[in-house]
Amino acid sequence: MIEEMRAAYRRCEPFLSTAPTTRESVRDLETRRFMLGLAGLSEAEIDKAIQDGKTDTELIQLSREKLTTRTSTPGRSGQRAVGLSEVGHLLEEGWEYVAPLGTDRVVVRGPLLEE
């Protein structure tokens, strides 16, 4: 439903915006969102970073901080790229879906480990 809303807004945006948008700028925004998601930022964190108008350099720094925090978080295993056939089993084991990776793979984050 959210994707349908985004698509509808994208179609109306030329009529609503005060500055014209180009297809390339939309692609750049989608790429930024995807890369921030891979770094482990939540949708809310991504929305806030983009709405705050962060530069590419600031977004890279934010991603590095998140990755550093993620890899140094005790009790959590890392991320993995897995085939679609493995996703259901891993989700049942407590793994968390992170982002798509092409058409036949996704990135998952390991479950919290008990100490």
pLDDT in tens, 39-63: 888 888 888 888 888 888 888 888 8
Residue ranges for the chain with pLDDT beneath 50? 72, 115
52 lies in the same domain as 86 = no
CA angle at residue 82 from 81 to 88, to 5 degrees? 130
| Range of the structural domain that residue 102 is part of | 75-115
33 lies in the same domain as 68 = yes
CB 39 within 8 A of CB 66: yes
The chain-wide mean pLDDT, for the chain, equals: 80
Residue 83, classed as helix, strand or coil, is strand
Residues 99, 14: Cα–Cα separation, whole Å: 29
Predicted TM-score (pTM) of this structure: 0.43
8 lies in the same domain as 60 = yes
Token pair of 41, please?
A: 């930022």
68 lies in the same domain as 79 = no
Confidence at residue 115, expressed as pLDDT on a 0 to 100 scale = 42
49 lies in the same domain as 65 = yes
101 lies in the same domain as 83 = yes
CB 54 within 8 A of CB 62: yes
Confidence at residue 94, expressed as pLDDT on a 0 to 100 scale = 85
Give the count of domains, the chain. 2
Residues 7, 35: Cα–Cα separation, whole Å: 20
Confidence at residue 75, expressed as pLDDT on a 0 to 100 scale = 54
10 lies in the same domain as 42 = yes
Confidence at residue 113, expressed as pLDDT on a 0 to 100 scale = 57
Residue 108, classed as helix, strand or coil, is strand
